[in-house]
Structures are given as structure tokens and as C-alpha cells.
Amino acid sequence: MGAQAQDWVPPYLTSPEEEAAYYVSRLADRRFVARYGNPAQPQVRYIAAERLGAIGAPAVPLLFARLTTQDDYEKMLVLYALQLATQDPVLMAQTGSDYVRLEPALDPAANASNQAIAQAWWGRHQHALAPPIGPGG
């Protein structure tokens, strides 16, 4: 029997950033998936990428830091996670509903063009992820 999605949840996380760091570290692990649907043609759930998408804005800087990976599988999932995470409602409010729109998603052959899409988004919106400057800063 294979691992299930709930088997991959880390036991102790104290912040969204810590959870994001954990899941970013799992993107290259090809076992970190769950299969569902028709057993003859199962669908794949990419657990780490989808969790990072649910975390949203706190995951985005960590994902951009991983965009330099040379592993095509990991890069595909980094890009997919960016597409999901940049749809965080708080972030969308700051970016005018602009998010990383992949063409197509989950296709390693599209990594180069999707990376260019992601980097263009970052160029337009990285300021939205900058921590606010406090008094005296």
C-alpha cells in the first residue's frame, strides 16, 4: 500500500513560512504524490505544489528562489505552485487580479516559456511581497 496525502503532513509547523519551506523542500520528491480517480487512468495530485498553492503569498518568495533548479520535474512543480500561490486573494487584491498564468501547466516541455511568464509576473509584482517598512525603517 502506498503513502496517502495525509502521510505527508509534517507534525510541527508554527508559521505559514515554515510550512512553505517544508513543502518547497519536497517538490523534487517524485513519491510526494497521491493518485485518485479511475485506477486504469489515475489522476495525480502533486501534494507539495498544491499545499504551497493553499499557503499562498508566504510561499511565493521561496518558490521564486527555487526557480533556478535544473531538475525539470521540480521546476514544473515550482511553476505550478506559483500559479496556485499567486492566486491568493490577498495577493490578487494587491496585483489587480494578476497571477502567474501558465501555458500549459504541468508540462516540463513548457518550463522555459512558463519560467519567462513567472519572471515577468515577479518583475511586475515583487513589491507586493515586500515586508512593510516599520517606523524608523
Write down the pLDDT at residue 137.
45
Task: Locate 135 and state its grid cell.
Answer: 517606523
Print pLDDT tens along the chain (137 aa).
455 555 566 667 678 998 999 999 999 999 999 888 998 988 899 999 999 999 999 999 999 999 999 999 999 999 999 999 999 999 999 999 999 999 999 999 999 999 999 999 999 999 988 765 555 44
Provide the b/e sequence for 73-87 (b: ≥16 CB within 10 Å): ebbbbbbbbbbbbbb
- From CA 58, how far away is CA 61, in angstroms rounded? 7
Distance CA(134)–CA(137), nearest Å, equals 5
- pLDDT given at position 15: 87
> CA angle, corner 20, sides to 79 and 119, nearest 5?
30
> Within 10 Å of residue 49's Cβ, how many Cβ atoms?
30
* CA separation for the pair 49, 26 (Å, rounded): 9
